[in-house]
Amino acid sequence: MISKNWRVWNKPNLVWSMAVMGSAGAGLFLGMGQSAHSDISKFSALLTQNERVPGELIVKLSKQGKLALRMNSAAALFDASSFGVTAADAFETNDSFYLVKLADGKAANFMEAAQNNPNFEYAEPNYIMHALGYKDHAPDVADVIPNDADFNKLWGMKNTGQKDAAGTTGTAGADIGATKAWNITTGNKNILVGIIDTGVDYNHPDLKDNMWTNPGEIADNGIDDDGNGFVDDIHGWNFSGGGSTNDPMDDNEHGTHVAGTIGGKGNDGQGVAGVNWNASIVGIKFLTGTGSGSLADAVKSIQYATKIGAKMTNNSWGGGSFTQSMFDAIKEAEAAGSLFIAAAGNDSQNADNTPHYPAGYQANNVIAVAATTNQDTLATFSTYGKRSVHIAAPGHKIYSSVPGGKYDTFSGTSMATPHVTGAAALVWGTMENASYAEVKDRLLRSRDYVGSLSRKVANSGRLNVYNALTETYPVSPEPSEADWQDFALTAPIESAHPYASNAKQEFVVQGPANAKFIRVVFSKVDLEDSYDFVKVVDAQGNELDSISGRADNLASFYGAGSSLKLRFTSDSTQNKWGFAVGKVQVVY
């Protein structure tokens, strides 16, 4: 370091006190220049409100201060003894600027003193900056292709364009990036994955090594050794049919199929490879051999998973409407830090308008999953919802394990969900102390953008576990929230309040001619849910959005161009308040 910078003061107290004594002059030194006016609280706030380097300030000298420095030491100018200053380095780029190191407890006092001293223009905290860009392209690594006999059937793991079981040629790359991910990790058995389903064939050759074996429980001694309330729970529990046994054997096929996608033993020369080659699968059975089960048994299953510390549950099932008991069980799982990953549903409906449970429960730990095909399109059966379905994953013609050491091809959001659960386990295994929210955020933000999903799932995304592991966040060609600008309405756009039966009205929304995209923000919507609708239609007549029920400050989906139409319809009964557009927004 150059000596001009007054770096390295070996004996600061001695040298500085001498310097102070030898050159004292009114107002020259910081400690002596203070006025009665105090801004300590303002400076303290600056120091606490942002991330910064403790014990460091950036100080700019005035012209007078630079002149003063010709005749005085830096120690004197910065009043080292009053503020515990240990170093002051001029910037190589501009010698009016100094990086001053001082006692952190004196930083606010220094800033205030500098404000009131003509030798200084200002003193500021040395804040920490973060890059605002992010990786949108993961590093290219080799594929890790396991030797499992049927691996080439797993298009969801690696889509080379191979045909699916129905003979449909796939789109190369329309997969979850598993073979790249396996360069980084193949799973961590510390992550317990509860499969709440029809049970799991824990003797299946591709699953037996990846079953959870309760470490606190001695098998078959009739004693609840770990005191969790369940006697001899070795691989999970069976609540199906209102019963309670320690045998979660699958008497259907569904749960075993789900298990193979999450944790089929990888690279063992046989069958399939799950997203996790190594896993700890807990079989929690509540669906009977016919594939159905009760709310009570479902709630018990969720509670059991929480009790044994499952990091997540896979819930490839659905039915019923909102229930407080299941909501409470999911919230308990959330409080315990567990993800609840649920199939969006197989009814081809828009869950934004018609919630499907349990995927539709509004809890932060829920991830609702839609299903894609091997061509990266939404499967025709899949429930969807831009506002209610979080992500899509392969769920059409999925090959996996079934009981008796066999394998078969299934379709459903039930098959998409375990791809996400498997990804959550794989990612969580690399950061065991992460919260469920961090894992969820990684999975959702790192999704591959798929244009065909743009009005179907949030962020228009299909799972990519390699992106999630590498914190790669592909950009979206869609406008971000920050891009939207308000455009003044010339006349109000709203229904009558309340509206009439059998209403059929159309409203034209005209934005500026140079708008690239346009949308409306409803200040209030209160329509008879699922019977009365306001639909948003673009200039070409394509339906963009269909809104019903109750909402405030709801932004519609957007259309290309400068105009939209709103089509309002009501049926013959139950007239509610209606809707009102608060503002029109455009992207230029």
| Active site positions, annotated | 197, 254, 414
| Of 160, 221, 380, 530, the one binding Ca ion by CB under 5 A | 221
Q: Are 14 and 62 in contact (CB under 8 A)?
A: no
Min CB(271)–Ca ion separation in Å: 4
Beta bridge partners of 583: 521
| Of 43, 120, 230, 484, the one binding Ca ion by CB under 5 A | 230
Separation CA 495–CA 506 (nearest Å): 10
Separation CA 547–CA 568 (nearest Å): 10
Q: Are 62 and 117 in contact (CB under 8 A)?
A: no
Q: Which is nearer to Ca ion, 382 or 575 (CB)?
A: 575
Structure tokens at 81: 């003894």
Q: Is 271 in the site for Ca ion (CB under 5 A)?
A: yes
Q: Are 344 and 368 in contact (CB under 8 A)?
A: yes
Q: Is 334 in the site for Ca ion (CB under 5 A)?
A: no
Using Cβ positions, the residue closest to Ca ion within the complex turns out to be 528
Local structure of 467: helix, strand or coil:
helix
- Spell out, one character per residue from 547 to 576, where the chain touches Ca ion: x when CB under 5 A holds, - when not: -----------------------xx--x--
Separation CA 72–CA 86 (nearest Å): 17
Return the ∠ at Cα 390 (arms to 462 and 345), rounded to 5°: 95
| Of 226, 247, 478, 529, the one binding Ca ion by CB under 5 A | 226
The full DSSP string for 198-214 is S---TT-TTTGGGB---
Min CB(214)–Ca ion separation in Å: 6
Q: Is 232 in the site for Ca ion (CB under 5 A)?
A: yes
Phi, psi of 333 (to 5 degrees): -60, -40
Q: Is 201 in the site for Ca ion (CB under 5 A)?
A: no
Min CB(228)–Ca ion separation in Å: 4
Q: Are 282 and 308 in contact (CB under 8 A)?
A: yes
What is the rounded radius of gyration, in angstroms, for the C-alpha atoms of the chain? 31
Q: Which is nearer to Ca ion, 273 or 453 (CB)?
A: 273
Q: Is 204 in the site for Ca ion (CB under 5 A)?
A: no
Q: Is 233 in the site for Ca ion (CB under 5 A)?
A: yes
| Of 241, 528, 561, 569, the one binding Ca ion by CB under 5 A | 528
Q: Are 34 and 116 in contact (CB under 8 A)?
A: yes
Q: Is 268 in the site for Ca ion (CB under 5 A)?
A: yes
Q: Which is nearer to Ca ion, 72 or 210 (CB)?
A: 210
Min CB(47)–Ca ion separation in Å: 52
Residue tagged 């952190």 (tokens): 104
Candidates 45-53, 115-123, 201-209, 296-304; binding stretch for Ca ion (CB under 5 A): 201-209
Q: Are 87 and 8 in contact (CB under 8 A)?
A: yes
Min CB(191)–Ca ion separation in Å: 19
| Of 112, 352, 494, 532, the one binding Ca ion by CB under 5 A | 532
Separation CA 530–CA 528 (nearest Å): 6
| Of 79, 112, 148, 253, the one binding Ca ion by CB under 5 A | 148
Separation CA 136–CA 448 (nearest Å): 10
Q: Which is nearer to Ca ion, 61 or 193 (CB)?
A: 193
Q: Which of residues 51-80 bind Ca ion (CB under 5 A)?
A: none
| Of 32, 531, 535, 583, the one binding Ca ion by CB under 5 A | 531
Q: Which is nearer to Ca ion, 116 or 228 (CB)?
A: 228
Q: Where are the alpha helices (DSSP H) in 52-149?
A: 63-71, 74-77, 80-83, 107-115
Beta bridge partners of 392: 370, 462
Under rule CB under 5 A, how many of the chain's residues touch Ca ion?
23
Q: Which is nearer to Ca ion, 376 or 526 (CB)?
A: 526
Q: Is 529 in the site for Ca ion (CB under 5 A)?
A: no
Q: Which is nearer to Ca ion, 377 or 400 (CB)?
A: 400
- The type of residue at 250 is D
Separation CA 568–CA 532 (nearest Å): 8
| Of 56, 104, 124, 224, the one binding Ca ion by CB under 5 A | 224
Q: Is 431 in the site for Ca ion (CB under 5 A)?
A: no
Q: Is 218 in the site for Ca ion (CB under 5 A)?
A: yes
Q: Is 187 in the site for Ca ion (CB under 5 A)?
A: no
| Of 225, 347, 408, 529, the one binding Ca ion by CB under 5 A | 225
| Of 175, 206, 250, 251, the one binding Ca ion by CB under 5 A | 206
Min CB(224)–Ca ion separation in Å: 4
Q: Are 493 and 520 in contact (CB under 8 A)?
A: yes
Local structure of 454: helix, strand or coil:
coil
Residue in 271, 281, 234 with CA at minimum distance from that of residue 422: 281
What is the contact surface with Ca ion in residues (CB under 5 A)? Answer: 148, 206, 217-218, 221, 223-226, 228, 230, 232-233, 265, 268, 270-271, 528, 531-532, 570-571, 574
